[in-house]
Amino acid sequence: MSDYRPDIARLQSFDDGEWLAVEREYSGRLLAYVSKRIRDTQAREDVLQETMLGAVRGIGGYDPIYTFEQYLFGICHNRTIDHLRRRRLVTLDTEEGEEDRIGITARAHDEETPSRIVRGRDLEARARGMLIEILRAWVQETWAEGEFTRLMVIEALMHGGWRNRDTWQRFGLRDETSVAGIKFRALARLRELAAKRDGSKQLLGAIAQGAESGEASLDMSIESAWREARVSCPARHWLARSLAGSLEPGPREYVRFHVEEMGCPCCAANLEDLRDRESKADLSAIFERVQASTLRYLRSRSRA
C-alpha cells in the first residue's frame, strides 16, 4: 500500500479531477477526526464540507514545509473549533494542547522596523523549515536503523514533555543518565545534519535563538517544531500494516506508543478510517454531497 501524494500544482490550478481524488483519499480520515469531537451527524458533514472548501480557497498559500495531510487536518481542526464555539461550547472534546499536535500555528512578532521584520521573518521561516527537515531526516534515519526505543525516548521528551525519571522507567533503561545519553547523541546528530544543510551556520544560529551553546534554546525549538510538523507520524501504510498485524515488534510497538501514549489525533483518525473501510459504503452519500459542493466552487472560479 502506497501513500497518496496529490499534485500540488494541479490543485493550485483548481483541477477538478485532482481535487476529487483528494476528497476520495482524505474524507474518511477527516470525518473520523471530526466524529470524535462533534456528535451531530449533519454538523459533522458541514465541518467536512467547510474543510474541503477551505482547502481549495487556501491552496495558493500552501506551505510545502508541511505535508498536505497536515494542511488538511489543520483546516479541519480550525473548522471544528469554529463549530463548537458557535454552539457556545466552552470545553472542547479534545485534550489540552492538541492544537500543537495538529500543525500549522500562527506566531506573533515584536514591533520592529519593517525591514528588520521582513529579514527576521524570512530567517525564522528558513530556519524553522530547515529544522523540520532535519528532524524528519533524523526520524527516518532512526527508523531505518531499527532503533525504535531511541525514537520513542526522544518523542517522549520532545513531544510529550516527559521527565528523564519517568522516561527511563517506562522504557526499562538503566537510569536517568541513560536517557540523558540518548538525548545528547540525538542532539549531536541533529547538529551534524544541520551543518550539512547550512554551511554558513546562519540558520543553525537562528534555530539556537542566539545562544552560544544553543542547547537549551535548541531543545525548545525542537519541541515546538516536532509538535507543529508532526515529524514522527508513521506513514499511512505503516498504520495499515499495524492493523493487519504484519509489523515486526519494533515498529508495532512504536505505532502503538505514538497513537496511544503520545495521543496523536491525526494518526488515530487514520487508523479509524482504515479500520472502518469495510463500512465506508454507508458514507458514500456524504462524500458525494461534499464533492458536489467542491465542484460548484471550482466551476464558479472557472467562470469568473
Q: Which of 175, 210, 229 is the last residue of a domain?
A: 229
SS3 assignment, position 95: coil
pLDDT band, residue 98 (cuts 50/70/90): low
What pLDDT is recorded for position 103? 53
Dihedral of alpha carbons 80, 86, 88, 90, sign = positive
Does residue 254 fall inside a structural domain?
no
Does residue 263 fall inside a structural domain?
no
Please tell me whether residues 94 and 155 are part of one structural domain: no
**Which of left, alpha, beta for 103 (phi over 0: left; psi -120 to 50: alpha)?**
left
Degrees (nearest 5) of the Cα angle 156, 159, 161? 65
What pLDDT is recorded for position 71? 95
Does residue 179 fall inside a structural domain?
yes
Please tell me whether residues 86 and 135 are part of one structural domain: no
Please tell me whether residues 39 and 90 are part of one structural domain: yes
What pLDDT is recorded for position 210? 37
Nearest-angstrom CA–CA distance, 195 and 133: 12
Please tell me whether residues 131 and 225 are part of one structural domain: yes
What pLDDT is recorded for position 235? 93
In terms of residue numbers, what domain contains 33?
Answer: 8-103+272-303
Cβ atoms of 12 and 256 within 8 Å: the answer is no
Does residue 157 fall inside a structural domain?
yes
Q: Which of 177, 201, 229 is the last residue of a domain?
A: 229
Q: Is 208 exposed, middle or buried (0-12, 13-18, 19+ CB in 10 A)?
A: buried
Nearest-angstrom CA–CA distance, 57 and 51: 10
What is the DSSP annotation of 118-174?
HHHHHHHHHHHHHHHHHHHHHHHHHHHTT-HHHHHHHHHHHTS---HHHHHHHTT-S
pTM as predicted: 0.78
What pLDDT is recorded for position 114? 43
The answer, yes or no, to whether residue 287 has pLDDT greater than 80, is no
The count of other CB atoms within 10 Å of the CB of residue 231 is: 23
Cβ atoms of 265 and 20 within 8 Å: the answer is no
Selected residue with higher pLDDT from 58 and 201: 58
Q: Distance from CA of residue 280 to its chain's centroid?
A: 24
Please tell me whether residues 46 and 137 are part of one structural domain: no
**pLDDT tens, 122-175?**
667 777 888 899 999 999 999 999 999 999 999 999 889 999 999 999 999 999
Does residue 218 fall inside a structural domain?
yes
The answer, yes or no, to whether residue 117 has pLDDT greater than 50, is no
Nearest-angstrom CA–CA distance, 226 and 224: 6
Does residue 235 fall inside a structural domain?
no
Q: Which of 229, 259, 281 is the last residue of a domain?
A: 229
Nearest-angstrom CA–CA distance, 215 and 30: 37
Cβ atoms of 198 and 134 within 8 Å: the answer is no
Please tell me whether residues 164 and 208 are part of one structural domain: yes
**pLDDT tens, 234-283?**
999 999 999 999 999 999 999 999 999 999 999 999 999 998 875 565 66
pLDDT band, residue 90 (cuts 50/70/90): very low
Nearest-angstrom CA–CA distance, 27 and 283: 10
What is the DSSP annotation of 213-225?
S-HHHHHHHHHHH
The answer, yes or no, to whether residue 99 has pLDDT greater than 90, is no
Q: At what angle do helices 114-144 and 215-229 cross, to 10 degrees?
A: 80
Selected residue with higher pLDDT from 58 and 119: 58
Please tell me whether residues 137 and 221 are part of one structural domain: yes
Does residue 33 fall inside a structural domain?
yes
What pLDDT is recorded for position 105? 42
The answer, yes or no, to whether residue 97 has pLDDT greater than 60, is no
Please tell me whether residues 134 and 214 are part of one structural domain: yes
**Which of left, alpha, beta for 233 (phi over 0: left; psi -120 to 50: alpha)?**
beta
Does residue 17 fall inside a structural domain?
yes
Please choose, from the candidates 304, 303, 273, 301, the residue with its C-alpha nearest in 3D space to the C-alpha of residue 11.
Answer: 301
What pLDDT is recorded for position 222? 84
Please tell me whether residues 282 and 224 are part of one structural domain: no
Dihedral of alpha carbons 248, 249, 250, 254, sign = positive
Our count of domains for the chain comes to: 2
Looking up cell 545519553, which residue turns up? Answer: 181
Nearest-angstrom CA–CA distance, 222 and 125: 14
The count of other CB atoms within 10 Å of the CB of residue 268 is: 18
Please choose, from the candidates 182, 190, 185, 178, the residue with its C-alpha nearest in 3D space to the C-alpha of residue 218.
Answer: 190
